Amino acid sequence: MSKTMTIAIDGPAASGKSTLAKNLAEDLGYLYFDTGVMYRAITLVALERGIDVEDEEACTALAESVRIDIEPPSEERRLYDVLIDGDDKTWEIRESDVDANVSVVAACPGVRHALTRQQRRIGLSGDVVMVGRDIGTVVMPDADIKLYLDASVEERARRRFIDMLAQGEEVELEDVLASMRMRDQLDSGRDVAPLKPADDAIVLDSDKKSEEEVLEEVKRLVEENQVEPS
């Protein structure tokens, strides 16, 4: 059997991971898989059902029972459709109350255990560009290429603020910045699978580069790393 390629892209919120991964996957003909969607989906269901996001047992039960499907986009403005138990929740998982709570849910060991298992199965099914916080460190430690995309918190908050305005959300830049700082702290400080570059990751700073520049740089890295199937 020929070897499949895995490209892992980790990094903090709004560092440009998703755009890079989507473009890279399109260019290479690989599957694009954004693992953050799964943590967001569980958080949305917890909020909708009035479940306390700090209740580890209840959140773990959700992660073990809720069905999350990621399908090709049904609208041009989307990267993919997200179905939760069959219902389209693609926009809802991006709302600010999910943003504000997702890192608490993602710190729950039971939730991570259930979702990591599913992510690994998808990751091993073919050539894939996989995005998240712990792909290179925990989910796919044998990935062929590991990237860690970073940018300053101010620049990342500015990008997220512009996205939210474009989607008609009424938000203040300083609130977005505060929420991003909080999420960074929770993601980097948690005991299980904290956000950090893998020892063998290539760290890229997207503050000083355009989307195109980052994409070209990564495509060069992929070409250099391309190994003949054994």
* Smallest separation (angstroms) from ligand CDP to the CB of 133: 4
* Out of 6, 23, 35, 90, the residue judged to bind ligand CDP by CB under 6 A: 35
Q: Does 106 bind ligand CDP (CB under 6 A)?
A: yes
In angstroms, rounded to a whole number, what is the distance separating the alpha carbons of residues 35 and 128?
12
* Smallest separation (angstroms) from ligand CDP to the CB of 229: 28
Q: Who's near 125: CB < 8 A, 6+ residues apart? A: 4, 31
User: In b/e form, how buried is each residue of 190-206, taking b as 16+ CB within 10 angstroms?
Assistant: beebebebbeebbebeb
C-alpha 191: how far from chain center: 19
CA dihedral 112, 25, 217, 157 (to 10 degrees): -50
* Smallest separation (angstroms) from ligand CDP to the CB of 202: 18
Q: Does 146 bind ligand CDP (CB under 6 A)?
A: no
Q: Pick the closer one to ligand CDP by CB: 1 or 166.
A: 166
Q: Does 60 bind ligand CDP (CB under 6 A)?
A: no
* Out of 8, 9, 14, 45, the residue judged to bind ligand CDP by CB under 6 A: 14
Q: Does 218 bind ligand CDP (CB under 6 A)?
A: no
In angstroms, rounded to a whole number, what is the distance separating the alpha carbons of residues 90 and 40?
10
202 φ, ψ to 5°?
-95, 120
Interface ranges with ligand CDP (CB under 6 A): 13-14, 35-36, 39-40, 102-103, 106, 132-134, 183, 187
